[in-house]
């Protein structure tokens, strides 16, 4: 890949994941999960459900980090998500240790696998990566390429300690204002 194309991609990524999120409108709701039931992340992760721990004292899912990486992983419908999306999630960090690298710590991330073998790992720019936070809404605008074969939602703690909770997630079709 030429340097010019690489720089253009970096600039586009910055524009789409930074303050420009406010410049996009919510369209069709493509996915929603309020995580209010033990099966919201699938049977495999029922042990991470915390009744009454959510924003409105409803349910939430909690990942506790200790060594290595600890994620809840959910497959999303790649065909439905292709195009430009806006993802919003309500999350809370509780004593997440300062990670060794800036991209570690609390994690809410899409893993986008493309037909050409390339993988994208976008995550909201305003994520509480370490420390503690009250419930907050984090957002990500992302283009899901036409050649995408799978999209997974990763939620958890990577190479850090502490607790990270998710109360809800919404994914909308979006376009610029």
Instruction: With cut-offs at 50, 70 and 90, classify the pLDDT of residue 76.
Output: very high
Q: Which of 52, 57, 53, 59 is nearest to 34 (CA)?
A: 59
**Stretch 115-127: mean pLDDT, rounded?**
93
Q: What is the pLDDT of residue 12?
A: 44
Domains, in order of start, for the chain: 3-176 (2.60.120.260)
Cα separation, 48 vs 74, in Å, equals 13
Contacts of 7 (CB under 8 A, 6+ apart): none
Pick the more confident residue, 177 or 37: 37
Q: What is the pLDDT of residue 146?
A: 96
Q: What is the pLDDT of residue 1?
A: 47
Q: Which of 103, 52, 50, 87 is nearest to 72 (CA)?
A: 50
Q: What is the pTM of this model?
A: 0.81
- Asked whether the predicted pLDDT for residue 79 surpasses 90, the reply is yes
Share of the chain above pLDDT 70, in %: 85
Contact (Cβ atoms closer than 8 angstroms) between residue 81 and residue 140: no
Pick the more confident residue, 98 or 7: 98
C-alpha distances out from residue 130 to 21, 36, 97, 103, 104, Å: 22, 25, 6, 11, 9
Q: What is the pLDDT of residue 11?
A: 41
- Asked whether the predicted pLDDT for residue 17 surpasses 90, the reply is no
At 41-60, the pLDDT tens digits run 777 777 788 777 777 667 78
Instruction: With cut-offs at 50, 70 and 90, classify the pLDDT of residue 34.
Output: confident
Instruction: With cut-offs at 50, 70 and 90, classify the pLDDT of residue 137.
Output: very high
Q: Average model confidence (pLDDT) for the chain?
A: 83
């Amino acid at each position: 890949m030429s340097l010019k194309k690489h720089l253009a991609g970096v600039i586009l990524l910055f524009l789409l994941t930074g303050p420009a999120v406010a410049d996009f409108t919510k369209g069709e709701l493509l996915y929603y999960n309020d995580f209010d039931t033990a099966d919201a992340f699938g049977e495999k992760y029922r042990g991470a459900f915390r009744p009454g721990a959510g924003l409105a004292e409803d349910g939430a899912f909690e990942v506790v980090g200790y060594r290595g990486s600890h994620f809840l992983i959910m497959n999303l419908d790649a065909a439905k998500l292709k195009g430009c999306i806006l993802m919003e999630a309500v999350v809370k960090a509780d004593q997440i240790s300062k990670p060794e690298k800036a991209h570690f710590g609390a994690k809410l991330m899409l893993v986008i696998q493309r037909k050409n073998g390339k993988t994208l790992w976008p995550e909201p720019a305003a994520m509480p990566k370490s420390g503690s936070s009250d419930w907050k809404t984090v957002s990500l605008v992302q283009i899901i390429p036409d050649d995408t074969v799978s999209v997974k939602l990763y939620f958890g703690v990577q190479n850090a300690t502490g607790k990270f909770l998710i109360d809800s997630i919404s994914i909308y079709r979006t376009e610029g204002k």
